[in-house]
Amino acid sequence: METPTLEFFYWTLRLVAQKAMEQSSNSILLPDRIGQLGRLAHNLWWSWHEDVREVFRQLDYSLWRSTSHNPVRMLRLIPAERLASAARDPKFLDAYDQAVAKLNRELATNETWWSQRFPGRSAGTIAYFCAEFALHQSLPIYAGGLGVLAGDLAKAASDLGVPLIGIGFMYPQGYFHQKLSALGWQEEIYENLNWDNVAVEPVLGADGNRLSVAIPLGCRNVHVVVWRIRVGRVAVYLLDTDVEDNDPMDRELSARLYGGTRETRLQQEIILGVGGVRVVRALGYDPIVWHLNEGHSAFTGFERIREIVERGGTFDAALDQVRKSSVFTTHTPVPAGHDAFPFELVEAHIEQWLNNSGDLPRNELFALGHYDAGGGAMFNMTALALRTAHAVNGVSRVNAEVIQRMWEPLLNENGENACDVKTVNNGVHISTWIAPDMAKLLARYFGKDWLENHHDIALWDKVFAIPDEELWNVREAQRRYMIRFLRERARQLWVEEGASAAQVVASGTLIDPAALTIGFARRMTAYKRPELIFRDPDRLARILNEPRCPVQIIFAGKAHPADHAGKHYLHEIYLRATDPAFGGRIAFVEDYDLHVAHFLVQGCDLWLNTPRKPMEASGTSGMKASINGGLHFSAGDGWWEEGYRGDNGWIIEGGASDEDESATDAADADALYRILEEEIVPMFYDRDGGGIPRRWLYKVKQAIRTVTPRFSACRMVKQYAEAMYARQGTDRG
């Protein structure tokens, strides 16, 4: 095990100093010569441009690391003398000037993919609604895959010049931070965001005051203010009810993501839908397309119908206009996963909205959400979204087929105008997720403009020109970097929180920098089957502890606060990590977030995914691992059903009938162990005289070649634009 370094002790002391400084420092004056640093820091565009990130690294590398790559917080903490020194440093100034010029060019240019592909729609706007946006780890307003997808889509839209705005919630307490107790049970910690530490800004109205919008809720009005996050060319607007004009209970409505009771959830969804439309109008936008990512914001349909009827349209004409300009993406493949509420609860909460809406026919409105999933008719948010959208898509081919079957009666309600569920497979934002060393390697062999052309499938044949030795050096460096990161976090647990020896071991201090490393990082819930690999613990222990060919597994992920089964899975993993029978070759990383995810998807050799088919809508973590040279090892569900080619990873197919879950699990676990024993482990450790695993690297190259262009967020956004956006919006409403 590595001994603590001087660098580690330095960072520990800096962390203590930071906490003291933050109590007294609210802002810092920048020297005029580098006065644009604040502007750079407050546009998250920097987060996917390596040369701009380098500006902040050069400014103060230890602060960059200890703030988890948050330049806004850095600028509050950095000593004034360091800023003065940077303003005189020619090397720093050159990097700074180039970064500022690059941002200016990016924001000023009108020559984008969108403007060239759709020259007649360059002035249009796409309003993209989502309950969560994962844009950077400093903004913990996301829970998982839905938010990561929304964040990657926003970044790709910026790259392509798609005129998109995001609409969501600014949760003052965000999603929870995860801490494991001494016994290995998840504890949820909620902390109020410090607005001074994050790249957000209040939106002001024409009068110079905070932009505020009122939303009828029950018999009262709830006021929301708006925050803006700059994401390159894209703006994401977030609603916040924590304002003085609201009652104390209403101020808490937007406090937490996915928190509170069913009634709280309904209130949030009314605010996001109705309030989101009103915010869009108050900002001066007239979208040509309204894109709902899941059904949480389906009340946009109600509000937009109300607007058209208020202008003199009929209900039927209004519904038709709303449909023509609406796109709906749904993911969840089980009825229980779709929000549904009793009709009387919905009516009670939109009572004032209805009373203020003139001649809107109540029965027809409520019929839009009417759906019986087997437990009696309810007001179903997905049904509402489906009935008010003309274009509907799932996020993988399997997912689209499942959605089509699940909602077949509703989709066929319109007879000849029945709606078919299209497929737009999810993708990942390459610039955000690729490791810097891997990006540099690709630039050497693909050309410096490879990122601009990464959608070109033929480009990726060049991966075979990369010498195995160079690719292997990058892969080993990424694994070592990840393990160093895990050990630093383990030391922080020990130094700052007085963690026990068992907790420190469980967090990864015994992980071997040279061993085959498997990653399993995702939400801890039943259908993900996080316990599958432990079905035969003795067999697993033999695989992990083979002296000549050791294997280790790094787990991470949160269980929803109300998911008690998920918490038990997590607890079992912790117990395995502290069990001497596994030799310290299992680790659990606390508080999984975007920052941790970057290290894991870039550093693990093998990415494990064991969903119960067909429950994985798409899944994107395996895509992120593949573009970084990690090999995907998954059940044939979600994106992997399309992505697996036979020579770019492995598929888990036990062959048992899906009717018997226990038999399926047993067969899949046996297949998992067998492939590890007979194929994966031998291939990884099959080295030539120079220590290079040639067969393994051939598979790595195939993974990079086949996954990167086909499962990128830019491909996904182009597909939305061409198949969904360009066909919508003939009538605005």
Whether 346 has a pLDDT exceeding 90, the answer reads yes
Average pLDDT over every residue of 300-327: 96
pLDDT confidence bin for 182, thresholds 50/70/90 = very high
Residue 227: other Cβ atoms inside 10 A: 22
CA 261 – CA 273 distance, rounded (Å): 18
| In the block, residue with structure tokens 């613990």 | 537
Rounded to an integer, what distance in angstroms lies between the CA atom of residue 226 and that of residue 168? 10
Instruction: Output Rg (C-alpha) for the chain, integer angstroms.
Output: 26
671-719 pLDDT tens trace: 999 999 999 999 999 999 999 999 999 999 999 999 999 999 999 999 9
What is the structure's pLDDT at 686? 98
- pLDDT at residue 1 above 50? no
What is the average per-residue pLDDT within 30-36? 96
- Asked if residue 414 has pLDDT above 90, the reply is no
Nearest to 435 by CA among 303, 251, 318, 604: 604
User: pLDDT grade, residue 645 (50/70/90)?
Assistant: very high
Are residues 222 and 244 in contact, defined by beta-carbon separation less than 8 angstroms? no
- Phi first, then psi: give them for residue 213, nearest 5 degrees: -130, 140
pLDDT for residue 10: 39
For residue 583, give the amino acid letter.
Answer: G
Dihedrals phi, psi of 202, to nearest 5 degrees: -70, 145
Helix (H, G, I), strand (E, B) or coil at 358: coil
pLDDT of residue 11: 38
> Does an H or E element contain 305, and which?
helix 300-310
* Contact by Cβ (8 Å): 293, 383: no
Q: Are 321 and 308 in contact (CB under 8 A)?
A: yes
Is the pLDDT at 12 greater than 50? The verdict is no
Report pLDDT digits (tens) over 447-458: 999 999 999 999
DSSP state string for 36-70: THHHHHTBGGGGG-HHHHHHHHHH-HHHHHHTTS-
pLDDT band at 184 (very low <50, low <70, confident <90, very high): very high
Under 8 Å between Cβ of 172 and 192: yes
Distance CA 72, CA 480 (A): 28
CA distance linking residue 668 with residue 651, whole number of Å: 10
Mean pLDDT of 107-112: 92
Whole-number Å distance between alpha carbons of 395 and 494: 42
Q: Please, which pLDDT band fits residue 21 given cuts at 50, 70 and 90? A: very low
Q: Which residues pair with 235 in a beta bridge?
A: 165, 230
User: In degrees, to the nearest 5, what angle opens at C-alpha 421 toward C-alphas 416 and 426?
Assistant: 160
pLDDT, tens only, 117-161:
998 776 689 999 999 999 999 999 999 899 999 999 999 999 999
- pLDDT, residue 533, reads 98
**Local structure of residue 633 (DSSP, 8 states):** E
Q: Are 631 and 649 in contact (CB under 8 A)?
A: yes
> Most distant CA pair in the chain: distance in Å?
81
| Maximum average pLDDT range among 109-113, 170-174, 584-588 | 584-588
Q: To the nearest whole percent, how much of the chain has pLDDT over 90?
A: 86
Place of tokens 């530490």: 197
- Two tokens at 438? 């891997």
Tell me the C-alpha distance between 708 and 122, whole Å: 28
Torsion, Cα of 282, 287, 293, 295 (10° steps): 70
Query: pLDDT tier at 198 (50, 70, 90 boundaries)?
Result: very high
Confidence of residue 459 (pLDDT cuts 50, 70, 90): very high
pLDDT score recorded for residue 120: 76
- Count H helices, E strands: the chain? 33, 21
**Strand 234-240 to 220-231 pairing:** antiparallel
Calculate the CA 4 to chain-centre distance. 33
Q: Which tens digits make up the pLDDT trace of 480-515?
A: 999 999 999 999 999 888 889 999 999 999 999 999
Q: In this predicted model, what pLDDT tens digit does every residue of 521-555 receive, in sequence order? A: 999 999 999 999 999 999 999 999 999 999 999 99
| Three-state DSSP state, 17 | helix
Average pLDDT along the chain: 92
Lowest-pLDDT range of 21-30, 370-379, 702-711? 21-30
Residue from 519, 582, 507, 505 nearest 555 by CA: 519
- Which of 359, 420, 465 has the alpha carbon at shortest distance from 704? 465
Listed residue (42, 49, 386) closest to 236, CA to CA: 42
Judge residue 629's burial from the number of C-beta atoms within 10 Å of its C-beta, 0-12 exposed, 13-18 middle, 19 or more buried: buried
pLDDT at position 7 = 41
